[in-house]
Chain A
Amino acid sequence: MKILVCITHVPDTTSRISFTDNDQKFDANGVQFIIGPYDDYALARAVELKEQAGGNITVLNVGGVETEPTIRKALAIGADEAIRVNAEPTDSLFVANEIAKVAKDGNYDLILMGRESIDFNGGMVHGMVGEILGIPSLSPVMTLEIEGDTAKIAREIEGGKEFIEVKMPFVAGCQEPIAEWKIPNMRGIMSARTKPLNVVEPSVNQSGTALQKFVMPPAKGAIKMVDADNVAELVTLLKNEAKVL
């Protein structure tokens, strides 16, 4: 089985977000970058599937050279090889077109990625890739089992889940509890250094949106504390001040 796992290179979940260049650019100063947490689930599931049934995992990132340490980490976790499409992605359409091109050329059985990136939270790339390739796309996927050429999937819906059967190839946007995040071991880290990381140039170069500027949310007002022995006061405040009851 050939699996393509698409990963994002995003600020750590604890990062403080700020912008520079007249609110045109993300301020990466002092920010730690990680594999997107949802992508990390996709990668972990790919490694488990490979352990069960054999196969090959290619990890793909559309991004500049600064994403290579993140890509190496994915190789250390268990991907066999990597492709970096050398571009500053502008939006989900841009990324989806480049992923679809790599996917088409590589003839993968399974294309996995996170349900959304945690920087732009678009949640659109998997669906776009599926449509470009003319194959099913499913997200958010909570469990994924493969039997022969068919996958059994649980997809989360509001208030529950939906069970789906689908033939490969297809695209899945993954989330927990599809697998447990894997921490690279020493052997993985050593071998990742010599695994192939191929850099290719973008071939479609198309976007559907243009950034105007970034905007920070308004600052939160001061908190009002209520005494634990006077809970009724909280109810009064919620009723008369916040007007939510």
Chain B
Amino acid sequence: MSSILVFVESADGRIKKSSLEAIAFAHAMGGEVTAIAFGNEVSQDELSGLGNFGATKVLHINDEKLNQGVIQAYASGIAQAMEKIGADVLVLANSSLGNPVSARVAIKMDASLVSNVTELPSTDGGFSVKRSIYTGKAFANVELTKAKKILAIRKNAAEVKELGGSANVEVFSANFNDADFSAKITSTEKATGDILLPEAEIVVSGGRGLKGSENWGMIEELAKELGAATGCSKPVSDMGWRPHHEHVGQTGVKVSPQLYIAIGISGAIQHLAGVNSSKNIVVINKDPEAPFFKAADYGIVGDAFEVIPKLTEAIKAAK
């Protein structure tokens, strides 16, 4: 049986949903699952609670200096944890922290690394995985040829199930050197309380068709009613109507929610590249010829300014 280490990330003291998916993924692979967590902002209960999702043990580097995502230090800590438990596989969620950290761990551990993994590995005749490529326009099956393996998984690569049970939390003291902290995080600016776009199950996105930032109130209202995150097209963030981290597409955030609602977005191929792994796509556009309709599951031809308030009302009414 293999030993699998899972790197878990937290936000506001809670383990991220994407990390729970990573644990579920590792558990479904079959093997002894150990999680590793950093910083002192996550409670013991939250950590032992990882047992409910398939981890048997949690290594906790509870150093305050690691409350922020210090890339090099995290990579050092993970590599040391892999050594300690004799892990042959590391699983983590693709994220702005997971990606740069896993790349460094791959070099430290001389491991094969594949990111954007979309399915559980196949182990008959070698160890191979399916990964998304060409920004969601295709997939590749690739074999990991080295003894140690790292899988950075995409959202929805595994289904989170509650299994009951609790994990043993163990304080793990890794050795760090000055170089691990040579890039200094001086401050962080973060929208709090909002649903994070990459993790959201429902996304309401607006494009240039909304005419200006002053019209986002109704997008936000609709999103609130749905418990959704808000997104936008590139020109919308370029013009400063919305913050950059909401920009969806080829050069922005790639989302894969259960439901993506696109309003006043034409559906340029670069925008579609960021949304094509959504389970369901709804398009609302006044132009029946808008290319986005070709990529959608449901469509409404109509003026956003009339349709959005009606839709918000209809959702309220259906509750």
Enumerate chain A interface residues (CB-CB to B < 8 A).
11, 13-14, 17, 19, 37-38, 91-93, 96, 118-128, 130-132, 134, 136-140, 142, 155-167, 170, 173, 175-177, 207-217, 220-221, 223-228, 231-232, 234-239, 242, 244-245
Contacts and interface: CB of A to CB of B under 8 A. Distances in A.
Residue among B71, B139, B269, B273 with the most chain A CB within 10 A?
B71
Given A164-B185, A217-B276, A242-B280, A158 B197 contact: yes
Interface in B263-319: 269-270, 273, 276, 279-280, 282, 293-303, 306-307, 310-311, 314-315, 317-318
Given A13-B269, A119-B133, A156-B245, A162 B185 contact: yes
Nearest to A228: B302
B244 A177 contact: yes
A159 B138 contact: no
Nearest to B111: A208
Contact of A214 (B140, B146, B273, B297): B140
B189 interface: yes
24 contacts: A19-B138, A124-B99, A124-B102, A126-B103, A140-B96, A156-B244, A160-B245, A161-B190, A162-B68, A175-B251, A211-B140, A215-B139, A217-B139, A220-B295, A223-B297, A224-B299, A225-B298, A226-B299, A234-B282, A237-B298, A238-B298, A244-B201, A244-B279, A244-B280
A32 to B, nearest CB: 13
B311 A208 contact: no
Nearest to B75: A131
B298 A156 contact: no
A127 B251 contact: no
B69 interface: yes
B2 interface: no
Contacts of B80: none
Q: Which 6 A-B pairs have the closest CB atoms?
A: A127-B103, A228-B302, A160-B190, A208-B112, A131-B107, A131-B104
A231 B307 contact: yes
Contacts of A208: 106, 111-113, 144-146
B100 A239 contact: no
B299 A124 contact: no
B130 interface: yes
Contacts of A13: 250, 269-270, 273
Q: In this complex, which of A124, A214, A242 has the most chain B Cβ atoms within 10 angstroms of its Cβ?
A: A124
B298 A209 contact: no
A170 B183 contact: yes
A127 B106 CA distance: 9
Nearest to A91: B142
B188 interface: yes
Given A122-B115, A166-B184, A138 B300 contact: no
Interface in B118-157: 128, 130, 132-146
Contacts of A128: 103-104, 106-107
B244 to A, nearest CB: 7
A216 B245 contact: no
Interface in B156-214: 179, 182-191, 194, 196-199, 201-202
Q: Which of B103, B142, B303, B311 has the most CB of A within 10 A?
A: B103
A157 B297 contact: no
A117 B238 CA distance: 21
B130 A155 contact: no
Given A124-B103, A158-B198, A209-B114, 16 more contacts: A121-B132, A127-B102, A127-B103, A131-B107, A136-B183, A157-B69, A157-B188, A163-B189, A215-B138, A215-B140, A215-B141, A216-B138, A234-B311, A235-B318, A242-B279, A242-B298
A163 B186 contact: yes
B318 A245 contact: yes
Given A121-B133, A139-B100, A223-B296, A212 B128 contact: yes
A225 B300 contact: yes
